[in-house]
Amino acid sequence: MKSNLKYIGLGLLLLLAACSKNITLNVPPAANQLVVEGHIEPGSTAYLYLSHNFNFYGNISIASIISQDVIHGAHITISDGSTVDTMIETNPAIGFYQNYKMKGVIGKTYYLTVVAQGQTVTSSTTLLAPIKLDSIWYQVQTGKDSLGYMWAILNDPPAPGNCYRWFARRINHDVNHDTTFVPPDESVFNDQTINGQKFEFFYSRGSFPGSKAAADSNAEAGYFKTKDTVVIKFCTIDNAAYKFYNTYYFQLNNSGNPFGSPAPLQGNINGGIGIWCGYGSYLDTVICK
């Protein structure tokens, strides 16, 4: 009986092996599109990163992105309906553009036009009034001696449809300082489930992909630390920006997951890919004690 079972099992394995088939997928190359990520805030000039898309199954590296995918020499203008300003390429290594005259004013709508590589893309965004946090504080995480998260309380207004994004920047006088504001994972949320309510929440410390900082790879990764001085930037954004960053994080978290479902980025760039976003920003400083 054991011998018969062994031969039956072997036969099933051979049958399954005979049924297997190698499949070669011929994925067509993606159409060349401009990729835009631009922002404007109250009292500040606008800034924008410009590149183009690349094939999913292509050879990708940081060097190839910088040398081949960043776009130089674009003609970029922004308008508030009455005044037009030009954005200048100030850091060619990363395709970074900014303007010098027009600054963001709450309530105004800003129209963007990008002309590059024979393509023209457009977008618009309205700079919403910031919705302030009621309170912000640092709290040591249970079981951690001097490491913790940043907590806050938000009173969401009665009108539905509010969307938000969270950033933080350590301004310490030591090696653990941030050169700019850093968003944590899942940094956006809306008021779909909290509309008109008082809402308490927390965020971990974010880090940029590929960071070489020791505090981003050791036991301190994701935590703020006692004695840190942290500036919180809490932004009111429109629904288009929320959808873009929400689908961006969805794709990021599904990267490499064979069971993850695709979710195309839902941006507001007409004729291209990406986001042109107004940040109604509110700033506050917390000393971690």
For the chain, what is the mean pLDDT?
87
Pick the closest to residue 245 from 206, 195, 197, 201 (CA basis). 206
Look at residue 264 in the predicted model and tell me its pLDDT: 75
Q: Is 219 exposed, middle or buried (0-12, 13-18, 19+ CB in 10 A)?
A: exposed
Max CA separation in the chain (angstroms) = 90
Tell me the torsion sign for CA atoms 69, 70, 72, 76.
positive
pLDDT of 32: 85
The region of weakest confidence among 21-30, 146-155, 186-195, 272-281 is 21-30
Side chain identity at residue 79, one-letter code: S
Q: How far apart are CA 126 and CA 144, in angstroms?
A: 42
Going along the chain from its start, the domains and CATH numbers come out as: 34-126 (2.60.40), 135-208+215-237+281-287 (2.60.40)
- Residues 240 and 246: their CA atoms lie apart, in Å, by 10
The single residue listed with the structure tokens 């069971």 is: 259
Higher pLDDT residue, 57 or 2? 57
Q: Mind listing the pLDDT tens digit for each residue in 77-115?
A: 999 999 999 999 999 989 999 999 999 999 999 999 999
Q: How far apart are CA 138 and CA 224, in angstroms?
A: 8
Percent of the chain predicted with pLDDT > 70: 81
Under the banding of pLDDT at 50, 70 and 90, the label for residue 64 is very low
Nearest 5°: the CA angle 101, 270, 186 is 80
Q: What value does the mean pLDDT take over residues 137-149?
A: 96
Higher pLDDT, 57 or 21: 21
pLDDT of residue 200: 97
Rounded to an integer, the average pLDDT of 236-258 is 85
